[in-house]
Structure 1
């Protein structure tokens, strides 16, 4: 999104002479949709390489992505004169860590209560109270703007906390979904085939959202705010776990081994293709959640901290993976119905807590937009 050169809405004259306003927020919204769509085109190649490995050999499965990667330098070389190149900057972590150390030193709880938490780390305030070093022998290496930027970064990252639960509903706990598919009638279809319906759904759904749904909403002056997009995505993903619980119930009911279906030599009579319902719901949730999160991570972070904010957003996946690993003991028979149902309940609860917490986010974003236009690029 750094390739988009404008920091505010601009007026553009069309070839026919008509003047139109190019909305920056809507443009970035579309860019994140296309970015996520392109990612999942690449992910869909897993289907081809899986069959290549099975039918031809692993050499072809590795050869195909290698050829695709070899094209990238030539594409970048061709586009180099059209790209906006950013000057490399040093790491922001050093100053960020030092500001955090000062901010959360002393009686920070009292400062948090009276809304002066971050003021404590501003160098102008530090000097005013006679402090010229951040610790013994170490000079202050940041200015007041750095503190404001860190505060804005933390504020932008609060939204990511809720994505830890989203990641758990978006794929389930551990290998629960693969185990579920393996207990159903597959008729020779590998149970790891179904996860390819995740990128396939995204490839199909994003153009529909971009070219039909969102333009329709804009024409009818319906503002589908980021908070509600994320809420819808959370609910869709949590719904996949409801579907998983229902499927698992019928698997236990029809399996020759009852509630030990996952380790049974015989399968349930439930058709394995029903498993794609979970992946379609999860992928639909991603189309609303992930694209909006990328958009917010970029637009709400200070210019020199966009990389850090994006990294923190991706870090939520690592936290979710660790939680999922800790919960693998629940991904066993006869607990799978409870595992799916519990994940669904937690997912819906987090969705409603998210809306309650960020229901006024659009007001804050509008204030940030006005400030950005006032301060200029």
Structure 2
């Protein structure tokens, strides 16, 4: 095999920076440390591939995400009880609004929908106007305002005067804007802090040489990013205890204070960040490209003058938007932009299955909390059970990142994205099937049978500990499906569209909330067995369809790696990525 160095074409850093060059010399394509050299084709084939060390700037972004998720899960943890149950009702779970399980689940689904719709606005503002750094700062301030509204309207005087429900709705809307503007930008920004795009060989202290692989580094970054999300998610332990032992205002005050710290932590890292310039009116330009492509394709088809590629096959309809193909096209964009847009559209295809995944995942923040309230939880509040999920993820992600995935690679078993996502979907279906079994067992126990937890009814004679396997299965589903979705959304998006594509991925969670509304009529006793069973069946069917529709993507990615395309600019390897419309 040839020992020539891997081609530098498309290996240069694609980032156009406001700042960060002087702090990040690795963005210079000629940068190498003393114990490093450029990888050859032989190195790429024979040496073990590893991820690189994470840059300091990435840790600041991860810390920011931890603080934001601490805030988010801290306020949402008590929501189900806050809405469902009455205020200071003896021998009952904590509550304030007394709206019942239907209202609690419905408002919870609305909030999830809203929080995952708003990332689109944050992405547009970041990519077109402010850039990611300034957008995150602005929306964090909005987030703080929403938290203050929630805290102030949850004090006893407000609850007694009927201010809790309207205050909650207003707070949900404002908080949704805040968290959405952060969500679509913080995950692309953390990956942007790692600037080495060209594969290189590093000699370890023991003399072993390894190929430092950007793809594995990005995968590791998102694993640890998701780990931080779930460490932040443990805030619900504290807030549900405060809800039970102090009051709801105290439960919401803690995450409000953390939201202030989130802003401080993020701004403190500003001198270390790689900050990418906004790219202009991507949405408008993309719309015009699509319209031009459709119009010119139809025109060429009607005139029987279709354009052929080098193999004599008709080019795709989007190619007709290229200035090099259709003379009628405005030159406000380039051929490269059309290829990038097609890459982005193609990347988003796999996201169509995710709403069903999020439908199952969202059960841990509503119906599984209510399910725990129907069982004996001992001296702890029922809504503390949801924290088993982040605890499992905190334990399992380092194990998978450092032990299991590397062991698979050493055995020659590379779990590529579609395979990992499929495994995650299987775990999700199993989690919902197990939840249906638990619910059936609850309904067979006394003294309240299928009316446990309703109104003034207490719990049935069964321990909430049997819920633990359901949360473990949900955690495993997230490690395989959710983390990989974040990684895929970043890697496959062109540089000019990373926030937009990430917002599309996040919007699938809103799709899950819309599906949740369809289940609202069976999201209460005595229909919960049916609720969990149908979700499990849907997830199982979607898993099979997803795998057979997209399994060839893994083979294509393997070929891209072999051709050394994936190591360049994600989105610039259009010869492989845009071969199909």
TM-score above 0.5, yes or no: yes
The structural deviation recorded for 1:66 is 4.7
Q: What residue in structure 2 maps to residue 13 of structure 1?
A: 203
Measured at CA, do residues 3 and 375 of structure 1 come closer, stay the same or move farther in structure 2, by a change above 3 Å?
closer
Return the offset for 1:166: 0.6
Shift of 1:71: 4.4
Residue 135 of structure 1 corresponds to: none
- 2:521 pairs with 1:321: no
CA distance 1:373–1:167, shift in 2 (3 Å): closer
User: In the alignment, which of 565, 573, 579 is matched to residue 371 of structure 1?
Assistant: 565
1:100 matches 2:300: no
Q: Structure 1 stretches of 5 or more lacking a match?
A: 133-138
1:239 equivalent to 2:430? Answer yes
TM-score, length basis structure 2: 0.58
Deviation at 1:371, TM superposition (A): 3.2
Larger displacement relative to structure 2 (44-53 or 166-175): 166-175
Question: Partner of 2:317 in structure 1?
Answer: 117
C-alpha displacement of 1:193: 1.3
Q: Which residue of 1 aligns with 2:421?
A: 230
Going from structure 1 to structure 2, the CA distance change for 1:375 and 1:211 (only over 3 Å counts) comes to closer
C-alpha contact (below 8 Å) 2:374/2:442 kept by paired residues: yes
- Cα pair distance change 1:104/1:331, threshold 3 Å: farther
What residue number does 2:194 align with? 4
Deviations 1:232-268 (A, max 9, x none): 1111111111111111111122244444445372432
**Residues 171 and 177, structure 1, Cα contact 8 Å, conserved in 2:** no
Aligned equivalent of 1:201, options 377, 392, 414: 392
What is aligned with 1:40? 230
Quote the offset at 1:230 in angstroms.
1.0
Do the aligned partners of 1:174 and 1:328 also contact (CA within 8 Å) in 2? no
By how many angstroms is 1:125 displaced?
Answer: 2.6
Q: How far 1:303 sits from its partner (Å)?
A: 0.9
Gapped regions of structure 2 (runs ≥ 5): 1-190, 307-312, 573-581
Q: Which residue of 2 aligns with 1:330?
A: 522
Is residue 118–residue 147 contact of structure 1 (8 Å, CA) maintained in 2?
yes
Q: Measure how far apart 1:52 and its partner are.
A: 3.0
> 1:175: Cα distance to partner?
3.4
Alpha-carbon offset, residue 329 of structure 1: 0.9
Q: 2:370 aligns with which of 175, 179, 188?
A: 179
Aligned position for 2:220: 30
1:348 aligns with 2:522: no
Distance 1:115 1:173, change over 3 A: farther
Residues 157-202 of structure 1, C-alpha deviations (whole Å, 9 max, x = no match): 1111111111112133993323322222233432211111111111
**Displacement of 1:216:** 1.7
Q: Provide the rounded CA distance (Å) in 2 between the counterparts of 1:30 and 1:51.
A: 33
Tell me the equivalent position of 1:155.
Answer: 346
Partners of 2:474 and 2:496 lie apart in 1 by 33
Distance 1:180 1:372, change over 3 A: closer
Mapped to 2, the partners of 1:254 and 1:209 lie a distance apart of 38
Aligned-residue offset at 1:23: 1.5
Contact 2:419 2:554 in 1 (8 A): no
Give 1:297's aligned residue. Answer: 489
State how far apart, in whole Å, the 1-side matches of 2:214 and 2:530 are.
45
Q: What displacement does 1:351 show?
A: 1.1
Check 1:375–1:165 CA distance in 2 against 1; reply closer, same or farther (3 A cut). Answer: closer
Shifted more, 114-123 versus 146-155: the winner is: 114-123
How many angstroms does 1:350 deviate by?
1.0
Aligned alpha-carbon RMSD (Å) = 2.8
Shift of 1:104: 4.0
2:471 is equivalent to residue 279 of structure 1: yes
Shift of residue 290 of structure 1?
A: 1.0
How many residues are treated as equivalent by the alignment?
366
Q: Aligned to 2:211, what secondary structure does the other structure show?
A: strand
Aligned partner of residue 169 in structure 1, secondary structure: helix
For the residue of structure 1 that corresponds to 2:388, the secondary structure is: helix
Within 5 Å, which residues of 2 pair with 1:213-224? 213-224=404-415
Instruction: Tell me, yes or no, if the aligned pair for 1:255 and 1:266 is still in contact at 8 Å.
Output: no
